[in-house]
Amino acid sequence: MPIIVVFVYRQEEKDPQQELIPIEKFRRALEKLLDYYPHLAGRIVMREDNSPHIEQLDAGAKLVVAECDEMLDDFNAIGDDGGPPRLIVTNLPDGGNTLLPPFDPSEAGITRDPILNVQHTRFACGGVSIGFCLRYIVCDGSD
C-alpha cells in the first residue's frame, strides 16, 4: 500500500518567463533529500520470516518527468458557495492518477521497485504538479 500525495503549483502571472520548479533543480533537491534519508533510495527485501528489511541504500528512487497539454484552469470547479473557481483533485486528469508515477503494489513490485517514486508534471500554463508514491511499509513504525 502506498502513501500517495500530489502537490499542484500554479505559475505566477507576475513573472511568466521564470520557469516554476525547473526539473534539474528539482532533481538536485531530490538527490539531496536522498543523501539525508538514504533508506528512501533502498530496496525492500523480505526475510525468511516474511518481515521486510531495507537493503541497497544506494539503489535510487524513481523520477518520472511528464507534460500535460492542458492548462490548470481547465480543471477548475466552481463551488456552490459562489466563491472563486478552485482546483479539485477529481477534476484533474484521471482523477489525479496520471499525475502520479507508475506504481506496482504487488509483492513482486515491493521487492523489485524503488521505495520512493516521484513524478514532475509540467502543464501548458507553466504550472507544475509533484506526485509522490512512497511505500507505506517504510513509514510504518511497527516491527
**pLDDT tens across 26-81, in order?**
999 999 999 999 999 999 998 999 888 899 998 999 999 999 999 999 998 877 77
**pLDDT tens across 70-125, in order?**
999 999 887 777 778 888 888 898 999 999 999 998 888 988 999 999 999 999 99
Q: Which CATH architecture has domain 2-139?
A: 2-Layer Sandwich (3.30)
Environment class of 68 (CB within 10 Å of its CB; exposed 0-12, middle 13-18, buried 19+): buried
Closest CA to 76 of 59, 91, 93: 91
pTM (two decimals): 0.89
- Please give the Cα distance from 58 to 61 (Å, whole number): 9
Q: What are residue 141's DSSP bridge partners?
A: none
